[in-house]
Structure 1
Amino acid sequence: MNLKVDESMVHGSKALLQQLPSIDRIMQWPAAQALVAAHGHTLVAGEARALVAARREAARAGTLAATALQPEALAADLRQRCGQRLAPRLKPVLNLTGTVIHTNLGRSVLADEALAHILRTMAGTNNLEFDLDSGGRGDRDTLVEDLLCEITGAEAATVVNNNAGAVLLTIAALAHGREAIVSRGELVEIGGAFRMPDVMASAGARMVEVGTTNRTHPADYQQAFNERTALVMKVHTSNYAVQGFTSSVDEAVLAPLCRARGVPLATDLGSGSLIDLAAYGLPREPLPQEMLRAGCDVVTFSGDKLLGGPQAGLIVGSKAAVGRIRKYPMKRALRMSKLPLAALEATLMLYLQPERLVRDLPTLRHLTRSQAQILVMAEALKPVLARALAPRFEVGCVALSSQIGSGSLPVDRLPSAGLAIGLPGSGDKGGPAKGVGTALDELARALRGLPLPVVGRIAHDRLLLDLRCLDDAEPLAAQLPALREALGMGPLNT
């Protein structure tokens, strides 16, 4: 009996295999020719070969339906394969996670001025390293150095491709082959296993630890100084906090000790705030201009966190220290390319008009939105989303707590609001409804699978959509019919 079934399957597979059209035949179809006109022969022929190979495997496995060999079905699949092959992997998403500066979602959103400047300058050739006044070779640092010096009060400035690179370059240029002093309480690790001890080693400096995890005093630094000391490194611990019996030595106290011994003092601020956030009701972060006034020779910080620009490592400080850093051979390997430089220049320009920052800088605009403003948007979206997800899910407006950043100020919270999606009756009896986890996972996947992916978070048996970073509700509302279809819930009645 089983043998007859197997023989039947074999004969069926052979019959289907014989019906498979050749690649040449497929490429002559009008639908394939239209694809060739749009994308070229190489791509379409490659996808046609992959399509036929997939059909052949399905036939041999006995899972291929005869209808899948119809020219219309093959042409439709070929069109879909070409589209998928050309679809970018990097795509815009709606960040409804509640984390404003989200490391995994690209950190800061660029301002319109930055995007426009990129388009203007990248559409053709530009003066990246050309001095228009002299007609000779220029230095790409000059595109932003004056701006950085004006905003921070530094004597000199240079930029590299990220802040990890800025710290690495600073230590290598100032302390390679010699000793660099750092407090044990500042031996941080940030995302991607970026550890200060490893950075010191990579830069060729011998790290000298002083103090203890929770307490470091001026005398600890003084006792560590010797003829091999080349640098004192301070690290702002913005991504964690040690509480209780603690003490540390700030830059204003440490600077005179370093100056008396001719040792440069560098501090890494990481988060890169150029304005006093406390003026906007946000947690205060130390500013580069304050560190320079306190006597630091070098200050490093990020461009794509609180500054609100592209990924960059910014280095400001004295002419002597920045000059050594700029001339160090590693600098070329870490230099910024023209695209982020254009975005950085335009972003820094916004800081020359501080009264407009809340309006023009997306990061600051999102951070300063009031809970009441966000709640208005949530209340407007609630009935639209509820109708799209009924009767399978229930939707409600809720107060939420947003996070400033996953790597910058991860502990601080901002009062926010959004939408909570759950199963009907979920939690009525004091516990989660049956299948709630599976249902919410399916909903989260469907949201992420939309043409403009929507990323929220699941907590307490609900899928939460924090609207703090949603400037316009229309892109979300316009996708609700597609969301309902992705969930297999039928068309959305209008």
Structure 2
Amino acid sequence: MTRQKSGFRALPSADQFLLSEAGKGLVAIYGRKLTLNALRARLDVARAAIQAGEDGTALAANLAGQLAADLSDGVRSRLRPVLNLTGTVLHTNLGRAILAEEAIRAAHTAMANPLALEFDLDGGGRGQRDDHLRGLLCELTGAEDATVVNNNAAAVLIVLNTLAAGREAIVSRGELIEIGGAFRMPEIMARAGVRLFEVGTTNRTHPRDYANAITPDTGLILKVHTSNYRIEGFTAEVSAFELAEIARKAGVPLLNDLGSGSLADLSNYGLRREPTVAEAVAEGADLVTFSGDKLLGGPQAGFIVGRRELIAAINNNPMKRALRLDKIRIAALEATLRLYLDPERLAERLPTLRLLARPQAEIRAQAERLAPQIGRMLQPLSFEVAVCDCDSQIGSGALPTEKIPSAGLGLTGAGGDAPDRLSVRLRDLDMPVIGRIHSGALILDLRCLERDIDLISALAGL
């Protein structure tokens, strides 16, 4: 009991600690309120430890260091940069597209300055924020007009609500997709106030299915590009061109939702072709929707391009204000779209395309350079490093069956849980390293690692 009392006496009071040099230093960094709250919590822990038999003098000696660590952890943002070595270039959980330098500079300017966001510099009156993107989108897609909202699900939502609220929207059963976060197309349609009318079957839908379903209560026909899955075998679908003819004859608008959506022909970069937005417009869709932060390589946004009178109706929907973009994303999107006006240098300047187009030979050479040094760094943890071939993927629902030959480092150790144990250690670094576990190894796919030093510096924290 005497030892316990002396242990309690060894602990400083909160006021005593705050007046010490260590306390003053922490208050200068974190402020009095945060420091005091963390100190009280740490003193409570220390008193409980003394009651359990621990040495109070040792706890008091370690108090300042433990409190500093508590405060550092408490103020560190959970939104931390990571090294994406998963092999998924557009990883939804890791923020999808990395922005181009031009977009980053534009966003920084928008954050640091007042902007002519909704101000007409020529006439001196009120302007429209979408005007900064409208001309670029029309030039790049061939559409009559364009508008933008905060993501592609919102784009589909507002189109459905504007053109078909209280009416039916016809869609093939094979296109009733579920997107990330378990959001399903039928549920989005219901929230838009639209009644779903399914046609065809899961694997086969024919032109007559659409034609026979059209009634005076039809608000629109919806075509959904199944970018996040693929049905193969005994299948049939109605092309966007055929569907546009059916819709035009019936006087019903056609919405073609491309999902990921690309402004460039991916086959130019060694990838399988995806329909481009310009092609979807040329095929006759009245409206086309697509994303900004996937294949396009910009910040999160949902684009709507198409007929002028339909875009005007969408912009007049009160929902538009709730879904609009802020000045930072508009600035970054404008800079990103301008890169597409120079297609010869696009892959060089747009990180998404640059990473997707990296040759496997280049990535393997990088793996062979890194393997010896990473091996030495992991040797104290009893892990071995080997160069391995692997497959990358685009991610975010784009070309789900497309595998891109890549290379990386396979990290193996003793015990069946070795990859999981190392994965935890790498996630706990100041710069977390995120790989994937496959066939008893932790694989670090190097496709998205453009600088060797980034991985070396991160692992130095081990």
TM range (shorter): over 0.9
Q: 2:359: which partner in 1?
A: 370
Q: 2:238: which partner in 1?
A: 249
The answer to whether residue 388 in structure 2 is matched with residue 388 in structure 1 is no
| Distance in 2 between residues matched to 1:368 and 1:197, nearest whole Å | 35
| Distance in 2 between residues matched to 1:194 and 1:126, nearest whole Å | 35
How far apart are 1:406 and its partner, in Å? 4.5
| Distance in 2 between residues matched to 1:93 and 1:126, nearest whole Å | 31
Q: 1:414: which partner in 2?
A: 404
- Distance 1:422-1:318 versus aligned 2 partners, 3 A rule: same
Q: 1:4: which partner in 2?
A: none
| Distance in 1 between residues matched to 2:377 and 2:233, nearest whole Å | 50
Q: 2:21: which partner in 1?
A: 30
- Equivalence map 1:151-230=2 (5 Å): 151-230=140-219
Equivalent pair of 2:407/2:445 in contact (CA under 8 Å) = yes
Q: 1:148: which partner in 2?
A: 137
Choose which of 123, 126, 131 in structure 2 pairs with 1:137.
126
Aligned amino acid, residue 21 of structure 1: P
How far apart are 1:447 and its partner, in Å? 1.1
How far apart are 1:45 and its partner, in Å? 1.9
How far apart are 1:12 and its partner, in Å? 4.4
SS in 2 for 1:315: strand
| Distance in 2 between residues matched to 1:150 and 1:450, nearest whole Å | 45
Choose which of 240, 254, 272 in structure 1 pairs with 2:229.
240
How far apart are 1:443 and its partner, in Å? 1.2
SS in 1 for 2:24: helix
Equivalent pair of 1:422/1:436 in contact (CA under 8 Å) = no
Deviations 1:68-125 (A, max 9, x none): 112xx22222222221121111011111111111111111111111111111221122
Listed as ranges, the gaps of 5+ residues in structure 2 are: none
The answer to whether residue 19 in structure 2 is matched with residue 40 in structure 1 is no
SS in 1 for 2:460: helix
Q: 1:469: which partner in 2?
A: 448
The answer to whether residue 395 in structure 2 is matched with residue 405 in structure 1 is yes
SS in 2 for 1:208: strand
Q: 1:438: which partner in 2?
A: 417
| Distance in 2 between residues matched to 1:283 and 1:40, nearest whole Å | 55
- Distance 1:204-1:64 versus aligned 2 partners, 3 A rule: farther
The answer to whether residue 41 in structure 2 is matched with residue 50 in structure 1 is yes
How far apart are 1:401 and its partner, in Å? 0.8
How far apart are 1:233 and its partner, in Å? 0.3
Aligned amino acid, residue 482 of structure 1: G
TM-score normalised to structure 1 length? 0.90
SS in 2 for 1:304: coil
Q: 1:356: which partner in 2?
A: 345
SS in 2 for 1:134: coil
How many residue pairs get aligned? The number is 461
Deviations 1:369-402 (A, max 9, x none): 0000001110100110111122612111111111
- Which of 387-396 and 151-160 deviates more? 387-396
Q: 1:431: which partner in 2?
A: none
User: RMSD of aligned C-alpha atoms?
Assistant: 1.5
Equivalent pair of 2:35/2:71 in contact (CA under 8 Å) = yes
- Distance 1:340-1:64 versus aligned 2 partners, 3 A rule: farther
- Equivalence map 1:264-303=2 (5 Å): 264-303=253-292
- Which of 275-284 and 18-27 deviates more? 18-27
How far apart are 1:63 and its partner, in Å? 4.8
- Distance 1:64-1:113 versus aligned 2 partners, 3 A rule: farther
How far apart are 1:462 and its partner, in Å? 1.0
Aligned amino acid, residue 240 of structure 2: E
Equivalent pair of 2:6/2:56 in contact (CA under 8 Å) = no
Equivalent pair of 2:229/2:397 in contact (CA under 8 Å) = no
How far apart are 1:14 and its partner, in Å? 4.2
SS in 1 for 2:222: strand
* Runs of 4+ in structure 1 over 6 Å off: none
Q: 1:258: which partner in 2?
A: 247
Q: 1:21: which partner in 2?
A: 12
Aligned amino acid, residue 318 of structure 1: R
- Which of 404-413 and 184-193 deviates more? 404-413
- Distance 1:14-1:406 versus aligned 2 partners, 3 A rule: farther
How far apart are 1:467 and its partner, in Å? 0.3
- Equivalence map 1:88-99=2 (5 Å): 88-99=77-88
| Distance in 2 between residues matched to 1:111 and 1:64, nearest whole Å | 55
| Distance in 2 between residues matched to 1:191 and 1:38, nearest whole Å | 40
| Distance in 2 between residues matched to 1:214 and 1:254, nearest whole Å | 17
Equivalent pair of 1:103/1:407 in contact (CA under 8 Å) = no
Aligned amino acid, residue 304 of structure 2: I
Q: 2:51: which partner in 1?
A: 60
Aligned amino acid, residue 256 of structure 1: E
Choose which of 458, 471, 475 in structure 1 pairs with 2:437.
458
How far apart are 1:266 and its partner, in Å? 0.2
Listed as ranges, the gaps of 5+ residues in structure 1 are: 1-7, 424-434, 484-494
Q: 1:427: which partner in 2?
A: none
SS in 2 for 1:436: coil
- Distance 1:342-1:62 versus aligned 2 partners, 3 A rule: farther
How far apart are 1:251 and its partner, in Å? 1.3
| Distance in 2 between residues matched to 1:136 and 1:275, nearest whole Å | 36
SS in 2 for 1:137: coil
How far apart are 1:66 and its partner, in Å? 3.1
Equivalent pair of 2:103/2:335 in contact (CA under 8 Å) = yes
SS in 2 for 1:381: helix
